[in-house]
Amino acid sequence: MLNTYDVLETIRMIQEECLDIRTITMGISLLDCIDADIDKACEKVYNKITEKAARLVEVGEQIEKEFGIPIINKRISVTPIAIVSAACHCSPVPFAKAMDRAAKAVGVNLIGGYSALVQKGFSAGDTELIESIPEALACTERVCSSVNVGSTKAGINLDACKLMGRIVRECAEKTVDHACFGAAKLVVFCNSVEDNPFMAGAYHGVGEPDCMINVGVSGPGVVRAALKKYPDADITQIADVIKKISYKITRVGQLVGVTASKRLGVPFGIVDLSLAPTPAVGDSVAHILEEIGLERCGTHGTTAALALLNDAVKKGGVMACSRIGGLSGAFIPVSEDAGMIDAAKAGTLSIEKLEAMTAVCSVGLDMIVIPGDTSADTIAAIIADEAAIGMVNTKTTAVRVIPAIGKKIGEELDWGGLFGCGPVMPVRKESPSKFIGRGGQIPAPLHSLKN
């Protein structure tokens, strides 16, 4: 018989501490949909997605009911569209529309993969896709886009950084009536991963099987509640508590993933060991850091506390599941985390501090609202800075900033729901234009001669 304490602990974690499965994401390869005729290609894309994911939402809901654990999102990621659309030699926006229609048909709330990988240069289809991102995100509802501009192996494509600075702005400008939401659906990566289940940066890499299920777990509230019981523990014990609770969280992710994969007849890929916050009370990563002992997230000590948290989450999760992947780590999206929002409003949390934090956790400058008059080159430089951290530290980093067109410091953008709301955060005024305008490739870093 199960132990009463264990049963009640599980129920408390779900009912009171916001434990949930953040996403079941089905990765679908579209390589067999390539066609020189764009209409035919789009039809194949629509048919393949709706066929493969026909039962995704139904099975997700079934599992939710059976195990009594909420599965917040059911999503789809596809092969980077720049690869699929290259043969068409025209604007790939119809692909975005086909993806959007397919997402609505099967009932998933987001579909990722309107993406291009340009870390070493632009190939056929890449430029057309990147140029079309603002329109694609403005005329669709559920499509998410990402562009990889750098990697540890290839270095950083500075031309792509410059281009993306402009594209991010255009995404915001085109959706100004919807609180600049277009830019919230676009992520610029360095070292992007092929099996990421989280949006907006998910795509299905070309090295992946035809179709697979990846799972992203969550549970910042559970970690915080566990730490609350140890107000006087030393930091080694704190790391231990986080490890143990992460193990439990991740086990549920593994169970849900295996069950979904069996019922859908699709191989199970990975569990993304993550602490993904939501704006809901009690579901904040910032509050964990504050529970560890910071008066407010963003103050001195935040990077160290976050490094410990991130590492302990991975150590606990590794043993709990068969395969790990995705972004795996603590997320620090500003607008999606009640504690981060408060810290940013109070001025304790700055972009510079967030940048330092991204060096020790997953993933990057995420869901940060910047002033509407921020220049494209400044955004490009923010992207280059963040990509440099990823490149040198052999980790994934990303930028998802939202220029609040027409707004300045003191105002905010509010999207509601899981995306939350974010105050406009200050950026430096001095121009990086000459640096960004040089173009070319920042060479890959040396990873030997480590003495």
Tokens 């998410």, located at residue:
144
Strands 211-217 and 21-28: antiparallel
Q: Is 241 left (phi over 0), alpha (psi -120 to 50) or beta?
A: alpha
Residue 449, interface with another protein (CB under 8 A)? no
For the bound state, the minimum distance from the C-beta of residue 221 to another protein, rounded and expressed in Å, comes to 16
**What is the H or E stretch that residue 97 is in?**
helix 93-106
When the beta carbons of 185 and 248 are compared against another protein, the nearer one is: 248
For the bound state, the minimum distance from the C-beta of residue 379 to another protein, rounded and expressed in Å, comes to 43
Q: Which two tokens stand for residue 81?
A: 């569209």
How far is C-alpha 159 from the chain's CA centre?
23
Tell me how far apart the alpha carbons of residues 219 and 249 are, in angstroms, rounded to a whole number.
7
For the bound state, the minimum distance from the C-beta of residue 212 to another protein, rounded and expressed in Å, comes to 21
**What is the H or E stretch that residue 49 is in?**
helix 38-52
Say how many residues make up the chain.
451
With CB under 8 A as the contact rule, the residue among 50, 62, 91, 433 that binds another protein is 62
Reduced to 3 DSSP states, what percent helix, strand and coil does the chain have, rounded to the nearest 5?
A: 45, 20, 35
For the bound state, the minimum distance from the C-beta of residue 317 to another protein, rounded and expressed in Å, comes to 13
Residues 275-314 that bind another protein (CB under 8 A): none
What amino acid is encoded at 412 in this protein?
Answer: E
Residue 262, interface with another protein (CB under 8 A)? no
Residue 16, interface with another protein (CB under 8 A)? no
Strand, helix or coil for residue 120? coil
Give the range of 62-70, 206-214, 223-231, 416-424 binding another protein by CB under 8 A: 62-70
For the bound state, the minimum distance from the C-beta of residue 65 to another protein, rounded and expressed in Å, comes to 5
User: Exposure pattern of 25-34 as b/e (b: 16+ CB <10 Å)?
Assistant: bbbbbbeebb
When the beta carbons of 6 and 37 are compared against another protein, the nearer one is: 6
For the bound state, the minimum distance from the C-beta of residue 12 to another protein, rounded and expressed in Å, comes to 10
Residues 33-52 that bind another protein (CB under 8 A): none
Tell me, residue by residue from 66 to 105, as one string, x for binding to another protein by CB under 8 A and - for no binding.
xxxx------------------------------------
What are the residue ranges of helices labelled H in 229-267?
Answer: 235-264
Instruction: Catalog residues that contact another protein under the rule CB under 8 A.
Output: 1-4, 6-11, 15, 62, 65-69, 248, 251-252, 254-255, 259, 319
